Chains A and B, each alone.
Chain A
Amino acid sequence: MLNYAASRIVQTVIVLLVISFIAFLLVANIGDPLAALLSADATVNERMELVARLGLDQPIGTRFLHFLTNLLQGDFGLSYRTQDPVAKLIIERMPATVELAFVSLLITIAIGVPAGIYCGVNPNSLFGRFIMLISTAGITLPNFVVGLLLIAVFSVQLGLLPSFGRGDVVKLGFWSTGLLSVSGWRAIILPAATLSTFQVAFIIRMLRTQLMEVGMSEHIRFARARGLSEARIWYVYAIKNTLLPVITMLGLQLGNIIAFSVVTENVFAWPGLGSLFLQSIQAADIPVIAIYLIFVGLVFMVINLVVELLYPLIDARVLRRQS
């Protein structure tokens, strides 16, 4: 087990290094931040001064090395745009995104898992077919369309839920939470629902296929032959066999939501990491973009790691296979 964990961690660090280099190369190519920082009437001298101050005149290799040294010393640099420390910006914005991801995961589990099981157990029922039809829409509609549709219906037409923002937030140390106020919960419903449409549809389809497959397997037929009740067969024996891939998918999707909620956050003016990322791209705020990309890499790696470390708890055979 320890060996297993250690090898995974070493891999994670190597991948992160590669990601940070690629991130740096990418952002060095998106343009310079001078347009946003200098006034339209700035003289050439002022321009040159700023270029030198930001180190933009150094070769790319030197800049990366400098960036990496600072990174290892825990200095993530200052944003060109706001002149705030990048670490502070990311920590400030992270709670919004994590809460959004968390609520959308809850929705996914609360709706996707029961619906998926129902469709798997009763694949030919009318209701099961209806759910499958709806889930096709969930898979195919792009996120921003779902978001705008929800806004058009629930905010503009019905006036039930707010179309933007996070509502009132409560500070708990460095963490600002919107989950302790009514307006916060009202604000999170639409964006979380938007984010979860794809996940819900995906989980339903996956569970259905898995369950149908397991339903054909030997041990289920054997259980049925022994006269166990249908309920016991499905909900105790069959489901256990489908959980592994479902948990892997949910884990990876959580990473996806945290990392790429950019579109949904933009649509709902959700003050999370995605919005920060977009604002930074517009202003060519290289330090923030680079750190954000590395952060995203980190989130994926950590989630992956956690999921892989969870496997043995669900299916002891994984560990046995290792040894």
Chain B
Amino acid sequence: MTVLTDKPPSARTAVAAPKRPSRRRRFGYPRRASVWTYGALLAVVAGSVFPLYWSFVVSSQTSEAVAQVPPVLIPGGHLFDNIAWVFDSTDFAQALLNSFIVSASVTISVVFFSTLAGFAFAKLRFRGRKVLLALAIGTSVVPQQLGIIPLYLLMAKLGWTDRLAAVIVPGLVTAFGVFFMTQYLGRAVPDELLEAGRMDGCGTFGLYWHVVLPAARPAAAVLGLFTFMQAWNDFFWPLVVLQNNATVQVALSSLASGYTTDYTLTLTGTVLATVPILVIFMVLGRQIVGGIMQGAIKG
């Protein structure tokens, strides 16, 4: 339905349901956007983009320029000086590396284990399946942030404070991932395909590896993106447990809360921390938007 609406009216009627073509054309839902609709939407998008644009402007100016009234709104030529300044001020390179390690490991693991659990929930018959699935989805409303003190005690006991494992291991599989893959695999993998795999002598793990994982690729990509961005942006738990081995967000927060805060410095750090996510979003934004909307319908 949504795909059809993008095409011009003539193309739409050609593929529309043949039963009532005249009616659909007369009313045309959803409605065509008016100038006002476009204007309002552009204003909203401008409001969304502006703070990020602004941080880019500041990061390319000198500190003196930031204190000007009225504010400068056009990028200057000091971006690379400022980036060098950030790398001199804190161990930002290590922080970027840490965040890459954490996000990449969490992403691979979440995709693997969520698809595995999703396969079991969507395609295998076992006693207690429905109850367990409901339980898994229900866990997502538990305010886990409030269990942070024993979690810290646990990590201290394991000797994991200031080690990346403390951030990676708790995130290795998520309720959202399990739910998302269960939904997708239920639709995308026909039972006949699994039956054929069984005939060929596949065990359940063989089915997972040879049939389910390849079929899950589109959804796995979306889940992977979400997971990567979430892990990259995670702040509270790393702040507590990685005080001397910061991830990007923790390093950024300490840049912003020093005794002498310089906005050019902190906003350059902000740009550096945001660019990797922004690149992913530019390239794969369509899939991310689609993923959120799909999850919404099923939820």
A binds B: no
